[in-house]
Amino acid sequence: MPTVLRLLEFADRVRPPVTASAHCDVPCGVYDPAQARIEADSVQKIIEKYHASADEAFRTRCLIAKEERAELVKHHLWVLWTDYFKPEHLEAHPDLHDLFWKATKAAGQAKQTTDAANAEKLLGLIDEIAAIFWKTKGK
């Protein structure tokens, strides 16, 4: 038996394990829609730089970076949706599910296009989510 398991078994005999409970995976202070917004803002700025350049190598790098940032937007939005928001939040804000759906779809579209209007739409949707988030935090 590995040493760590033996130590854990010994510790359980000396002091019974304590059951901990929490309403989220980690302390709530770590959740913040600003992470998604920062990445979406990067998408918007990359699109601007893409359109301002005639250098094909640079434009290719812009596309790669934009797609990575857009994927991070989706990741941060899904972390908020799946780990932070609870059924009581959805009851208080019935449009929340649709708002997340639209925002993650816009992030997916940001991967596929260099349309600045889509990036602007994405930022607006994230701002709407952030407003609800801060209401749930009482701020």
- 79 pLDDT tier (thresholds 50, 70, 90): very high
| pLDDT at 105 exceeding the cut of 90 | yes
- 114 pLDDT tier (thresholds 50, 70, 90): very high
| pLDDT at 13 exceeding the cut of 80 | no
For the entire predicted model, the pTM comes to 0.79
End-to-end CA separation in angstroms for the chain: 51
Mean pLDDT for the chain overall: 88
Query: Residue 30's pLDDT is what?
Result: 76
> Domains of the chain, with CATH numbers?
31-136 (1.20.120.400)
| pLDDT at 23 exceeding the cut of 60 | no
- The residue ranking higher by pLDDT, 122 or 23, is 122
| Spatial distance between the Cα atoms of 134 and 108, rounded to a whole number of angstroms | 25
Give the CB-side neighbour count of residue 83, counting CA atoms within 13 A.
16
CB crowding 38-73: b at 16 or more within 10 Å, else e: ebbbbbbebbeebeeeeeeeeeeebeebbeebbebb
Q: pLDDT tens digits for 33-49? A: 999 999 999 999 999 99
Q: Which of 12-16, 29-33, 46-50, 87-91 has the highest mean pLDDT?
A: 46-50
